[in-house]
């Protein structure tokens, strides 16, 4: 079966711009989570969506937002980009709540802000 698909794989943006990242979960998975990975902070949780509702949110500024569509695909948006937003953004899908069946990650989107 197809895995978690993230697009695009690479992005270069200028400070102040906004960006939208996309994640298509494994078919049948209704939970989609987003994580930011940087060398200094490691992997940090951004937010989780389940059945189109944001169920959990990490400690990130309001410039980071997301949404989930009825087909479980999710998008993440970052507005007014800052240099510190440069990171690998990873999406994970799960069949149910609390990751009972574990999480499957995509290959990530590498965002570079210049």
**DSSP string across 1-26:** ----EEE-SEEEE-TT--EEEEEEPP
Integer Cα distance of 9 and 12 in angstroms = 11
In angstroms, what is the minimal distance from the CB of 68 to other proteins?
Answer: 13
The residue (of 66 and 108) whose beta carbon lies closer to other proteins is: 108
In angstroms, what is the minimal distance from the CB of 50 to other proteins?
Answer: 7
Integer Cα distance of 75 and 66 in angstroms = 6
Which stretches of the chain bind other proteins, using CB under 8 A?
Answer: 4, 6, 31, 33, 35, 42-43, 45, 48, 50, 55-56, 58, 88, 90, 92, 94, 97-108, 110
The residue (of 70 and 98) whose beta carbon lies closer to other proteins is: 98
Place of tokens 């990650």: 105
């Amino acid at each position: 079966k197809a895995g978690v698909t993230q697009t695009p794989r690479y992005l270069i943006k200028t400070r102040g711009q906004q960006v939208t990242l996309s994640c298509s979960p494994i078919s049948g998975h209704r939970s989609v989570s987003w994580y930011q990975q940087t060398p200094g902070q490691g992997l940090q949780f951004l937010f989780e969506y389940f059945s189109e509702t944001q169920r959990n949110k990490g400690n990130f500024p309001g410039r980071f937002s997301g949404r989930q569509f009825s087909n479980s695909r999710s998008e993440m948006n970052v507005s007014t980009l800052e240099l510190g937003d440069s990171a690998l953004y990873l999406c994970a899908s799960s069949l149910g709540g609390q990751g009972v069946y574990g999480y499957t990650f995509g290959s990530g989107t590498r965002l570079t802000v210049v």
